[in-house]
Chains A and B, each alone.
Chain A
Amino acid sequence: MKKRYLFTFPPELVQEPIIWQLGRTFAVVTNIRRADVEETHGWVVLELEGSAEEIERAVAWAQARGVRVDPVVGDVLAG
């Protein structure tokens, strides 16, 4: 399956090769569609392709590293 995510990186992670590590550690294909990364912060919109379990594990790993992971649907919660 394919799922779309917004990864937001705090300053301390901007220089870390998180997405490369994620692709090496889990059986998921990463496909970046848009990104904006500067010295102190950054975000990446990407697609993860793999089994549901593997995607879930990969996302949990990224969150544990300190990446904020949001689904790409805009803010569902509003008012």
Chain B
Amino acid sequence: MQRIKGLKCRECGRLYPIEPINVCDYCFGPLEVDYDYAVIRRLISHERIAQGPRTIWRYRDLLPVEGDRIVDISAGFTPLIRAENLGRRLGLMHLYIKNDAVNPSYSFKDRVVSVATTKAVEFGFTVLACASTGNLACAVAAHAARAGLQACVFIPANLEVGKVLGAAIYGPMIIAIDGTYDDVNRLCSEIADRYPWAFVNINLRPFYSEGSKTLAYEVAEQLGWRAPDHVVVPIASGSLFTKIWKGYNELRLVGLIDSPPPRMSAAQAAGCAPVVTAYLAGENHVRPVKPATIAKSLAIGNPADGAYALQIIRRSGGGAAAVSDAEIVEGIKLLAETEGIFTETAGGVTIAALKRLVEAGVIRPDEVTVAYITGNGLKTQEAVIDHIAQPVRIAPSLQAFEAALAGSRLIAEPVR
């Protein structure tokens, strides 16, 4: 019996073979991988997973790959940290941080791109491509290098320097487009029609997005095979949010956990909050917005999976919060100063939203809560550079040092 049945339209349910396609020909709905969970249930076990590599590929039975060649740069199995300091500050007894800032290219995108690149090799593509606000470009360039594929990544011209450099170092062709994010989006859909390339988030999207499920699997395993009570996840397209939900539900379906899936709460920046706005207004429609936020990796004005994310927030009994740019910076600093984790603006959104949701009573103090931190702070230095203490510059003498110390917050007495 086959683990993977094929692709299935999320809207009309039509079935398709496993091919590099992402849209249903009939209703133009999104295609998703269709598994036979009865087969997987017989195959998978805690022990089998424990014997696997310390990467996302320990969950291979639940990922849509069939060949022998896996493209793995060690994405995943990132730390789940018991955040006692931050928990105390916010009033949470059991807070954890899933730190995906420490992936090989410094964001959770390594998970999805590892799966997409493996599929690209299976399908026989020679060029790996994507359109990106930065993190994805880094992950695609790194995985293409590992797989021996050519890479071409498309970015908006106003991207943060850290993200351009983080992609450029792997040697891809980088196309910086003069225009808005929407312009990049439209151009790439045309290029994908014309060139036989593996666009990880267009024609490989059904496979690519499945990589995000590993963020649920890992947290459950790291908690001793149980789901948390509540998770806080940032929303850009809504794909990460819906796949984390899917991941927890699958674990239950295949018998790896008994606990119900967590309450799912959404975090967005106030300058681009179409899903949170719809949730708070009690609406079913996600209305497009024009993004204006420092959280560029979340700046998607018309999220493709927004309506699905909205349903999950409601169905799981979660909540939602949209936070200002000032709160995002505070969130970045709060996580750094309490737990020693430096996250990018998207992580600042998550921490600021977590704070809001606790204050509003949406997250209860005794819930086992996980905040997903998806990217590394060194990539968005521009956001915090004006909000941190500057070095104290002194002459190379003990006297100058002690003069500086006297004017500081540091509490220190010399030994004699």
Interface residues in chain A, defined as those with a beta carbon under 8 Å from any beta carbon in chain B: 4, 6, 8, 33-34, 36, 38, 41-43, 45, 47, 68, 70-79
Contacts and interface: CB of A to CB of B under 8 A. Distances in A.
Interface of B: 11, 22-23, 26-30, 107-109, 130-136, 181-182, 184-186, 188-190, 192, 199, 201-202, 205, 236-237, 239, 285, 287-288, 297, 300, 302-305, 346, 374-375
Contact of B186 (A33, A42, A71, A78): A71
A6 B177 CA distance: 22
Given A71-B185, A74-B304, 9 more contacts: A4-B28, A33-B27, A71-B190, A73-B202, A74-B239, A74-B305, A76-B201, A77-B185, A78-B300
20 contacts: A4-B28, A33-B27, A34-B29, A47-B28, A68-B302, A70-B185, A73-B205, A74-B201, A74-B237, A74-B239, A75-B236, A76-B185, A76-B202, A77-B133, A78-B136, A78-B201, A78-B236, A78-B300, A79-B107, A79-B134
Given A4-B23, A4-B28, A33-B26, A75 B288 contact: no
Contacts of B285: 36, 38, 41-43
Contacts, number: 97
Contact of A74 (B22, B134, B136): B22
A33 B22 CA distance: 16
Given A4-B28, A33-B26, A34-B11, A77 B184 contact: yes
Contact of A77 (B23, B27, B109, B131): B131
Contacts of B136: 78-79
Nearest to B206: A74
Nearest to B193: A3
A44 B188 CA distance: 21
A66 B288 CA distance: 12
Which 3 pairs, one residue from A and one from B, show the smallest C-beta to C-beta distance? A71-B189, A75-B237, A74-B304
Contacts of B297: 79
B298 to A, nearest CB: 8
Nearest to B302: A70
A77 B28 contact: no
Contacts of B130: 76
A2 to B, nearest CB: 10
A51 B188 CA distance: 20
Given A38-B285, A68-B288, A76 B131 contact: yes
B348 to A, nearest CB: 15
Nearest to B181: A77
Nearest to B30: A74
B140 to A, nearest CB: 11
B358 to A, nearest CB: 26
